Amino acid sequence: MIASHYAIKEILKDWGNTKVIKERFEELAKRYPEDKEFQEIYNEFKEYLNLSAEKLEKIKMKVHNLEI
């Protein structure tokens, strides 16, 4: 099953709050383990937690593209 449009909107809605986004990603990653594209983005987000804010903006664009 792929991550729903609603799930993607929830991530984007709270984009400025890293703690909330992390929780949403974790929850959705468990709910949609077979959505490879979402899992790849989630893995990038986890890497971001150890990287710069510039990386986060790139991930945001990828998440936004899932919404389309």
Reported as a single tens digit per residue, the pLDDT across 14-61 is 998 988 999 999 999 999 999 999 999 999 998 888 777 677 788 888
- What is the gyration radius of the CA atoms in the chain, in angstroms? 11
**CA separation, residue 57 to residues 15, 30, 42, 66 (Å):** 10, 23, 13, 14
Reported as a single tens digit per residue, the pLDDT across 52-67 is 767 778 888 899 888 8
CB 67 within 8 A of CB 12: yes
pTM over the 0.85 mark:
no
